[in-house]
């Protein structure tokens, strides 16, 4: 975390819908021009001592098929942090358009279980702007603390098409911990490997209904129109609405309940979006250090998400 960053303390969680509308209005001012090397904001957005809303958590657990327990799921701590990330990306000094920015990777670590009765302070900031074959990537960092103790941390990596960044491209995540590397290790080689070339056993068939985007948005607050409105999805090149990537992430962890240690790191790479409605397959296999998993089409040829879990 940047130790020299200013802190912007918010009084309440910002509403994501108005922030998305604000970001859309800024499109003409933020053109992601490749000839300009931008600077990221040097501040951290913070929401102090947030109570866990039990009803909202119950709604979230229901749509993701997570059990409702005293321990707060790590993906729900991302939900609490996400409004601060959107606040940062919608700010005038954030150099990129939010519209069309693509969430391509996510990593989060539960450093210890968080009880539902604990007050949690969440914060986010931007760093690791670096080149990408299709533009640039930037990490939106997240952190949750209880008192002075860091209990959860996360990294959401976004692709900014057509943008520029200085330096050589380097992975934002540790190579040894990435889902692709875990699949390579499982295959026993160093070549690029996918869930298709390394078939993973099928664990479950997921039916993703047409209203899944609306249901997840109601529970999480993530009201990005590409998940809710077919016209908005078509404007960005999708034939119909798509499922939230973080729903897929949470659903995968739900499928492995009882096998995930309380202190763990989960890394996912988002590949092809899940069009709604559709049926997809969850696949997984144990490894020496944890699990690798994938969400694919029924034939196993089209990868939506690949991921890995290991003890923290």
Give per-residue pLDDT as tens, 79-125: 999 999 999 999 989 999 887 789 999 999 999 999 999 999 999 99
Average pLDDT rounded to a whole number, residues 10-23: 89
> Mean pLDDT of all residues in the chain?
88
Higher-confidence residue: 3 or 70? Answer: 70
In this prediction, residue 162 carries a pLDDT of 77
pLDDT in tens, 278-311: 999 999 999 988 999 999 999 998 999 999 999 9
- Would the pLDDT of 32 be above 60? no
Q: Give the integer Cα–Cα distance in Å for 209 and 212.
A: 5
Q: Are 263 and 153 in contact (CB under 8 A)?
A: no
* Confidence tier at 4 by pLDDT (50, 70, 90): low
pLDDT in tens, 150-200: 999 999 999 998 787 776 555 544 444 556 655 555 544 444 555 555 579
In this prediction, residue 23 carries a pLDDT of 79
Q: Give the integer Cα–Cα distance in Å for 220 and 60.
A: 6
In this prediction, residue 215 carries a pLDDT of 97
Integer-rounded Cα radius of gyration of the chain: 19
Average pLDDT rounded to a whole number, residues 52-61: 97
Higher-confidence residue: 260 or 175? Answer: 260
Q: Give the range among 65-69, 161-165, 220-224, 255-259 with minimum mean pLDDT.
A: 161-165
Of the candidates 231, 209, 217, 213, the residue with the CA atom closest to the CA atom of residue 277: 209
In this prediction, residue 191 carries a pLDDT of 47
Share of the chain above pLDDT 90, in %: 70
The DSSP result for the chain, as a single string, is --TT-EEEEESSPPPHHHHHHHHHHTTTT----TT-------EEEEEEEEPP-HHHHHHHHHHHT----SBPPHHHHHHHHHHHHHHHHTSTT--S-STT-EEEEEEEEESS--BTTS-EEEEEEEEEEEEETTEEEEEEEEEEEETTEEEEEEEEEEEEET---SS----SS-GGGSHHHHHHHHHTSSS---TTTSPPPEEEEEEE-TTHHHHHHHHH----GGGT-HHHHHHTT-SS-B--HHHHHHHHHHHTTTTS-SSEEEEEEE-S--BSSEEEEEEEEE-SSEEEEEEE-TTS-SEEEEEEEEE-
């Amino acid at each position: 975390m940047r130790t020299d960053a200013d802190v912007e303390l918010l009084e309440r969680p910002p509403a994501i819908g108005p922030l998305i509308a604000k970001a859309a209005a800024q499109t003409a001012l933020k053109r992601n021009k490749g000839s300009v090397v931008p600077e990221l904001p040097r501040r951290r957005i913070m929401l102090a001592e947030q109570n866990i809303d039990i009803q909202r958590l119950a709604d979230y657990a229901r749509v993701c098929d997570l059990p409702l327990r005293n321990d707060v799921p790590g993906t729900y701590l991302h939900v609490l942090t996400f409004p601060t990330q959107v606040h940062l990306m919608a700010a005038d000094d954030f150099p990129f358009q939010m519209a069309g920015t693509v969430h391509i990777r996510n990593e989060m670590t539960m450093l210890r279980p968080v009880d539902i009765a604990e007050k949690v302070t969440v914060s986010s900031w931007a760093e690791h702007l670096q080149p990408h074959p299709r533009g640039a990537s930037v990490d939106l960092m997240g952190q949750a603390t209880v008192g002075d103790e860091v209990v959860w941390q996360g990294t959401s990596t976004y692709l900014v098409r057509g943008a520029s960044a200085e330096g050589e491209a380097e992975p934002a995540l540790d190579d040894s911990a990435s889902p692709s590397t875990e699949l390579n290790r499982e295959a026993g080689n160093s070549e690029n490997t996918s869930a298709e070339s390394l078939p993973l056993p099928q664990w479950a068939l997921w039916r993703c209904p047409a209203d899944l985007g609306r249901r997840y948005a109601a529970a999480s607050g993530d009201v990005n129109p590409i998940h809710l409105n077919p016209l908005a999805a078509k404007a960005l090149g999708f034939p119909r609405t798509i499922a939230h990537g973080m729903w897929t992430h949470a659903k995968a962890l739900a499928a492995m309940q009882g096998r995930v240690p309380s202190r763990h790191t989960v890394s996912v790479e988002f590949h092809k979006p899940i069009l709604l409605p559709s049926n997809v397959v969850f696949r997984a296999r144990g490894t020496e250090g944890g699990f690798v998993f994938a969400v694919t089409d029924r034939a196993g040829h089209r990868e939506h998400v690949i991921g890995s879990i290991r003890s923290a």
